[in-house]
Amino acid sequence: MSDQFDAIVVGAGPAGISCAFELAKGGANVLLLERGEYPGSKNVMGGVLYRKMMEDIIPEFYKEAPLERPIVEQRFMMMDKESAVTFSYKGMEWGKEPYNNFTVLRAKFDQWFADQAVKQGAVLINETVVLECIVENGKVVGVRTDRPNGDVYADVVVLADGVNSLLAQSLGFHKEYQPDEVALATMEILKLDKKVIEDRFNLEDNQGCTIELFGDATKGILGTGFLYTNKDTLSIGVGTLLSGLIKHKIKPYELLEYVKNHPMIRPYIQGSESQEYLAHLIPEGGYHSMGRIVGNGVIVIGDASQLVNAIHREGSNLAMTSGRLAAETVLLAKQAGDFSEKMLDHYRQRLLDGFVGQDMKKYKDSTHHFDQNPHYFDEYIPMLNKAASQMFTVDGQSKWEKQKKIWKDLGSPKEKMKMARDMFRAWKVVK
Ligand SMILES: Cc1cc2nc3c(=O)[nH]c(=O)nc-3n(C[C@H](O)[C@H](O)[C@H](O)COP(=O)(O)OP(=O)(O)OC[C@H]3O[C@@H](n4cnc5c(N)ncnc54)[C@H](O)[C@@H]3O)c2cc1C
């Protein structure tokens, strides 16, 4: 094997595979390096894959990719200790081509996706850790791996090494992330009979449901839980900012056990068997935590550049889009024979001008705002549950009396003003 490539992509997650696929398709000689035994072996995701961004790379991929279920219903549960206010959208249009989203298991999906990149001509080498970038005269010219004689060279190195991106950090592109910039998520894959899943979630064959859990699922810490249907397994998990876990002295696996035993969740998973236990960090610092993403001979994509929209639990789609845009830029750079920062900056501009940058900017203050104001989760969600319980309990009181009581329970005029202000501030950070 040659030790000189047009491009080296580090990390075979959705970002790196998308980039390698597009580069190989465009005729570039590309090496994809992955530290895991195979792509997906080290990767963790609740499991919602977004059809549109994947189709921008492989049209009609859903006809052959190993997908679990097309999602036809999205539920949102606002949980208190023994109750939940739930709202949802279910639409039959999502169960038909071209579909909206799918649940996936990353260990299967990433392998399949990487195979497609290899079919386009990318060279994939697993079980290889990239230790550092090789820098000469201020330009990244290759990478040092943990293999004997493991230096490989390229015109451009694409860093897709995920959330901490020690490689970008060692280039000085970002600082070490702080506990309030990353969430720690733990999840389990639970085996359950296919028919039982369909009965419990009110689904037909080849239909899926996602449930996002707020409030008591995280014991009021900023974060969310989730419960997703796969073919014959369920994915259940919970993620909170690391700073919240530290402050509340809660261990992540205790939180997952708490969610699994919650009376609103227990009936869904009863009788299931644990198949896999996983934990991973999620970059949640948002736009303010994004470091430098372009340098001479180097581009950073996906989680490595903090591209996660925590409000909408989107990450894989931003990763894929960034990988595709990076590849398009590298192909232009190859044509021009120019891999300088100035040339590669085209990637940064397109990323920030498109939906990825726009969404990152839209929610730039949201993590910080909700982290600083935990009462949205530990006060207002219980209040909502209490109000629903009062209103819907039939006990001989008139509805006028009930409304009056609910209004009184919201507190003094000063407390009501504070709540109205909070709602306005919440609207401002997500508008
Ligand atoms: C619990 C959980 C639930 C989530 N749910 C969703 C969801 O439902 N929908 C969604 O869109 N997103 C979700 N996300 C986010 C999503 O998983 C990420 O945004 C996405 O995986 C980012 O892709 P990536 O390719 O940038 O990074 P990754 O998927 O992390 O891939 C990085 C790859 O680089 C490899 N690597 C790292 N360092 C090196 C090295 N030095 N040398 C060689 N290889 C290296 C790793 O082994 C890995 O394969 C979730 C995340 C978590 C943790």
Nearest to 271 by CA among 309, 244, 232: 232
Q: What are phi and psi of 31, to 5 degrees?
A: -110, 130
Q: How far is the CA of 13 from the centre of ligand 1 (A)?
A: 6
For the record, the structure tokens of 49 come out as 């894959």
Cis peptide leading into residue 98 (ω within 30°)? yes
Residue with the smallest CA separation from ligand 1 atom 52 is 45
How, if at all, do strands 273-283 and 182-191 pair? antiparallel
pLDDT tens digit sequence for 223-236: 999 999 999 999 99
Distance separating alpha carbons of residues 67 and 64, to the nearest angstrom? 8
The pTM of this model reads 0.96
pLDDT tens digit sequence for 199-252: 999 999 999 999 999 999 998 788 999 999 999 999 999 999 999 999 999 998
Residue with the smallest CA separation from ligand 1 atom 7 is 48
Q: How far is the CA of 43 from the centre of ligand 1 (A)?
A: 5
Strands (E), 128-263: 130-136, 139-145, 151-159, 182-191, 208-215, 223-229, 233-241
Distance separating alpha carbons of residues 45 and 15, to the nearest angstrom? 13
Residue with the smallest CA separation from ligand 1 atom 8 is 48
Q: How far is the CA of 162 from the centre of ligand 1 (A)?
A: 5
The arithmetic mean of pLDDT across residues 87-92, rounded, is 96
pLDDT tens digit sequence for 372-409: 888 999 999 999 999 999 999 999 999 999 999 999 99
Q: How far is the CA of 362 from the centre of ligand 1 (A)?
A: 23
The answer to whether the CB of 261 falls within 8 A of the CB of 285 is no
Distance separating alpha carbons of residues 394 and 384, to the nearest angstrom? 18
> Quick one: pLDDT at residue 81?
96
Q: How far is the CA of 45 from the centre of ligand 1 (A)?
A: 7
Q: Which of 42, 45, 124 to mutate to test the pocket of ligand 1 (most atoms within 8 A of CB)?
A: 45
How, if at all, do strands 84-90 and 101-103 pair? unpaired
| Identity of the amino acid at 142 | G
pLDDT tens digit sequence for 58-71: 999 999 999 999 99
Distance separating alpha carbons of residues 215 and 374, to the nearest angstrom? 10
pLDDT tens digit sequence for 399-423: 999 999 999 999 999 999 999 999 9
Ligand 1 atom closest to the Cα of residue 163 is: 30
CB under 6 Å to ligand 1: residues?
10-16, 33-36, 42-48, 129-130, 160-162, 185, 187, 237, 239, 280, 282, 302-304, 308, 313-317, 319
The answer to whether the CB of 6 falls within 8 A of the CB of 141 is no
CB atoms within 10 A of CB 150: 16
